[in-house]
A and B are shown apart, each in its own frame.
Chain A
């Protein structure tokens, strides 16, 4: 069960990080001069999304 949960969490996080990446690319294309700010915020948001997935992985480890 833990492995299935971790897989679903990875799926959700993958969609989330993908959306962040695509919007960041659009933003950079629109405003290339703001690339530094956009990159920092992108990494920060991606880390937050990934954190949610990793919570699920830890729960998966616990329910092993």
Chain B
């Protein structure tokens, strides 16, 4: 009997976790709308882990999001992303390309709402440092002419296609909307927990309170108290808890393949940049005399070592938050890329819908591996939230610690 239950559970898990297959399929076909020859695994994956200016729900169903766009020399353009009609209408030279707002570079293109015939991608040769390189560029078709598009505007320096371009995108994107959702969830959960403590004062915890209390105790006993020290830990408990639960909720929401989830929030460099910046500011504001002395003139070592050590320590102040930023971003993005690549096997083996047998084989292999990877990602979601908070706590601990030399060794 137990064996039978196990089989049922296994099938449910496999089916449930293989759900991204459907989400991916729509995009696979949508993506190849303009170039029907082959399934392009890399750009499909990149499209899925990138941010978007509209929230994709189901085949053909998108939730438009507000766009706040600023271009130097033109000013603000504020509109709903539904106005772009999925790349068939340009507004003030802005178009929607694969869910992201791009801008038409050319001055000849008319302003206002203009119907365009579509967006195509072409490989063009670009001269770069004297070397000719092939690059994929997008063009808007309008009245038989091709107008080149500027890349979307992102803060991450263009790692996932973007960068600082001719305009600034302050829109409420998919990620921003998801962050708001996470904030709302956190407020709901934690006001309920706080109410629970008020009502059951002196009694055993009830409901959602019993779910959160062990995590709270875990953070206190395993993270903040040993890392920051008995004297100061209560001051930083709220900050570390906020970091932990925000990252955890973002990670878990990113693992849900359908509508309210699916945004790669903590896999966005701009988001992790802000989180790491907060850790950096809190650490250095609270740094005491001993902390700064250890950075600029480490006591108890020969003078010539100090000359070498001081630049290293100063660099370390910046490298610590930088590694926090990269670690979270890379872990979550790598997980999403692996899952999407495994789902992509279906379309790769199935030759994008023409070979049903290959697609079925891909579905079996990809589905099983996706189920497995999703379980690992569940672990990673908790682990990365834990790692981020424990490392932040250890940096803060080094900053507020009062002169125990042997303890400093650990924190570096």
The residues of A with any CB-CB pair to B shorter than 8 Å are 36, 40, 43-44, 47, 50-51, 54-55, 57-58, 61-62
- Contact, CB under 8 Å: A51 / B327: yes
Please give me the 10 A-B residue pairs with the lowest Cβ-Cβ distance, nearest first: A54-B330, A47-B387, A51-B327, A51-B323, A58-B330, A57-B330, A55-B326, A61-B159, A58-B326, A54-B327
- Contact, CB under 8 Å: A43 / B159: no
**Is B383 among interface residues, defined by CB-CB distance under 8 A?**
yes
Q: Which residues of A contact B222 (CB under 8 A)?
A: 36, 40
**Is B52 among interface residues, defined by CB-CB distance under 8 A?**
no
Q: A44 vs B387: C-alpha distance in the bound complex, in angstroms?
A: 7
Knowing that A58-B330, A61-B159 touch, tell me 19 more A-B residue pairs with CB under 8 angstroms: A40-B390, A43-B386, A43-B387, A44-B387, A44-B390, A47-B327, A47-B387, A51-B327, A54-B326, A54-B327, A54-B330, A54-B334, A55-B326, A55-B330, A57-B330, A57-B334, A58-B159, A58-B326, A62-B159
Q: 27 A-B pairs, CB-CB below 8 angstroms?
A: A36-B222, A40-B222, A43-B383, A43-B386, A44-B387, A44-B390, A44-B391, A47-B327, A47-B391, A50-B327, A51-B326, A51-B327, A51-B330, A54-B326, A54-B327, A54-B330, A54-B331, A55-B326, A55-B330, A57-B330, A57-B334, A58-B326, A58-B329, A58-B330, A61-B159, A61-B160, A62-B159
Q: In the assembled complex, how far is the CB of residue A41 from the closest CB belonging to chain B, in whole angstroms?
A: 9
Q: In the assembled complex, how far is the CB of residue B316 from the closest CB belonging to chain A, in whole angstroms?
A: 13
Q: A54 vs B269: C-alpha distance in the bound complex, in angstroms?
A: 13
Q: Which among B160, B222, B329, B387 has the highest number of chain A CB atoms within 10 Å?
A: B387
Q: In the assembled complex, how far is the CB of residue A53 from the closest CB belonging to chain B, in whole angstroms?
A: 9
Q: In the assembled complex, how far is the CB of residue B339 from the closest CB belonging to chain A, in whole angstroms?
A: 16
Q: A44 vs B326: C-alpha distance in the bound complex, in angstroms?
A: 16
Q: A47 vs B327: C-alpha distance in the bound complex, in angstroms?
A: 8
- How many A-B residue pairs lie within 8 Å, measured between CB atoms? 36
Q: A55 vs B159: C-alpha distance in the bound complex, in angstroms?
A: 13
Interface string of B320-339 (1 = CB under 8 A from A): 00010011011100100000
Q: A36 vs B390: C-alpha distance in the bound complex, in angstroms?
A: 15
Q: A51 vs B391: C-alpha distance in the bound complex, in angstroms?
A: 12
Q: A41 vs B116: C-alpha distance in the bound complex, in angstroms?
A: 58
Q: Which residues of B contact A61 (CB under 8 A)?
A: 159-160
Q: A51 vs B386: C-alpha distance in the bound complex, in angstroms?
A: 14
Q: Which residues of B contact A47 (CB under 8 A)?
A: 327, 383, 387, 391
Q: A50 vs B327: C-alpha distance in the bound complex, in angstroms?
A: 8
Q: A57 vs B323: C-alpha distance in the bound complex, in angstroms?
A: 13
Q: A57 vs B331: C-alpha distance in the bound complex, in angstroms?
A: 10
Q: Which among A40, A47, A50, A55 has the highest number of chain B CB atoms within 10 Å?
A: A47
Q: In the assembled complex, how far is the CB of residue A36 from the closest CB belonging to chain B, in whole angstroms?
A: 8
Which residues 371-411 of B have a CB within 8 angstroms of A? Answer: 383, 386-387, 390-391
Q: In the assembled complex, how far is the CB of residue A4 from the closest CB belonging to chain B, in whole angstroms?
A: 16
